[in-house]
Structure 1
Amino acid sequence: MRFSKSEITAAMEATGMIPVFNHSDIEVAKSVVDSSYQGGVRVFEFTNRGANSLEVFKALKEYAKQYEDLILGIGTIFTPAEAEEFLEAGADFIVSPALIPNIGAFCNNKGILWIPGCGTVTEIYNAKEMGAEVVKAFPGNVLGASFVSAVKAVMPDLKIMPTGGVEPTEDNLSKWFGAGVVCVGMGSQLFKKEWIRNKDFAPLEKQIGQTLELIQSIKKKNS
């Protein structure tokens, strides 16, 4: 792989936000990657949620070669077979919606960063024992920032990324980063349906840029 685990986690922490996106139209996906990168994103998660997701991901990986420091991972992975397919297509990291031990074992064997979705302290502890260096608090809007605060109290070195319902607002982001998250995953709240439907990518780039600036401001206040 082009990026090591430490390089990926450092980039996640530096930018503070990972866009989470899927689309069946390759050209739309390329435009979203363009807008994300130009807005300041350096870690991007495409999700395996469509019949042609592998085909789109392969095209995106080839297209993204122009952005030498863009880290491109795959999410919504449920089996080692899926993980292997996307790794062969060039995925830099693997994200799962749940704690799936055989995916953890597969990724550890390959030396790949694996980010499992966890919703309890037990799952998070088990994820750490399985070698996960970052865990996804999912669904974030159900668990809430207070869940992260409680987990960090007993596992202070843990890197947590909430995904699901994270909003690009000062109030919402302040709660998450105040709780100690390393970064946030953001999907539907970032990618407005009408922008994508109308292929209007300028406001998307603007919103991504503003969100990343807001995150940096919040992190500075918390440091």
Structure 2
Amino acid sequence: MHGFDELLAGRPLVAILRGVPVARALELARAVWGSGLGVVEVPIQTGEAFECLRELARAAGEVGAVVGAGTVRSAAQVAAAVEAGARFTVAPGLDLDVVRASHDAGLPHLPGVATASEVHHALNAGCSWLKAFPAGSLGAGWLREMRGPFPEARFVATGGIDAGNARDYLAAGAGALGVGGAVTRDGGLAALLEVLADG
């Protein structure tokens, strides 16, 4: 199992392609992979999303990239994500059954956390990378404050992030940024990649 330390090494972007048609998703994913700055996540809430995940997983395999399944809320969804070719799973919250199912399947899991208790339980469950969600509501300061009691935790700040505030979250200690809406808007991905390329 490749963990997030490896998957996100030098790749500070998790591009979240929610509800994006397959052709557009492939275009965006190839831009992300081609930049060398990120990985791609497809939230799997619909049948169309599963088909998108399968297509992106196939394309990722051709270029040595990876794609993960997002909004994974049950062990059954973990199994479906594995079948579709996902290489990691992401959830909006912390569900220990989902953590266990992902790890048993050989996939690293990124659980959503928004409190110190959730951070604590996620770390104890074997997740060293955590999704700070919703980051836009939590604020960059939340990341700084969590680094005190939990210096071993690595965070993917997700929700409400775009090219305008990306640097704030990275400066606060985010190891990566999960970005959805800003990535799928016209010009949004290019603007974000420019910010990330500048460090």
TM-score by length of 1: 0.82
Tell me if structure 1 keeps the 8 A contact 2:162–2:179. yes
Matched, 1:31 2:30: no
Equivalences for residues 25-174 of structure 1 within 5 A:
25-68=21-64, 70-169=65-164, 172-174=165-167
Moved over 4 A (4+): none
Which amino acid is the alignment partner of residue 183 of structure 1?
Answer: A
Aligned match of 1:4 in 2, 5, 9?
Answer: 2
2: CA distance between counterparts of 1:136 and 1:185? 8
Identity %: 22
> Distance in 1 between the 2:189 and 2:172 partners?
27
For residues 124 and 13 of structure 1, what CA distance do their matches in structure 2 show?
21
Amino acid at match of 1:206: A
Query: Is the counterpart of residue 189 in structure 1 residue 187 in structure 2?
Result: no
Q: CA RMSD in A?
A: 1.8
Q: Kindly state the Cα deviation for residue 109 of structure 1 after the two structures are TM-superposed.
A: 2.0
Cα distance per residue 1:113-151 (max 9 Å; x no partner): 010001100011001111112110000001111111111
Q: In 2, are the aligned partners of 1:167 and 1:186 still within 8 Å (CA)?
A: yes
The answer as to whether partners of 1:95 and 1:114 remain within 8 angstroms in 2 is yes
Work out the CA distance in 2 between the residues paired with 1:101 and 1:125: 12
Aligned-partner SS, 2:8: helix
Other-structure match for 1:213: 197
2:17 aligned partner: 21
Separation (CA, whole Å) in 2 of partners of 1:26 and 1:125? 37
Structure 2 counterpart of 1:26, one-letter code:
V
User: Are the equivalent residues in 2 in contact too, given 1:114–1:133 (CA < 8 A)?
Assistant: no
Offset, 1:205: 5.6
Q: How much does 1:208 deviate?
A: 4.3
1:123–1:205: structure 2 CA closer, same or farther, 3 Å change rule? closer
- Looking at secondary structure, tell me which structure has more helix per residue: 1
1:22 touches 1:47 (CA, 8 Å); kept in 2?
yes
Q: Deviations over 1:147-184 (max 9, x none)?
A: 11111011111111110001212xx2232122211111
CA change 1:126–1:44 in 2 (3 A) is: same
* Superposed displacement of residue 25, structure 1: 2.2
CA contact (8 A) 1:39 1:206 kept: no
Counterpart of 2:184 in 1: which secondary structure?
coil
Name the aligned partner's letter for residue 4 of structure 1: H
What stretches of structure 1 of length at least 5 have no aligned partner? 196-202, 217-223
User: Which structure exhibits the higher relative contact order, with contacts defined as CA atoms closer than 8 Å and separated by 6 or more residues?
Assistant: 1
Q: In structure 2, how many angstroms separate the alpha carbons of the residues matched to 1:23 and 1:78?
A: 17
Q: Secondary structure at the match of 2:89?
A: strand
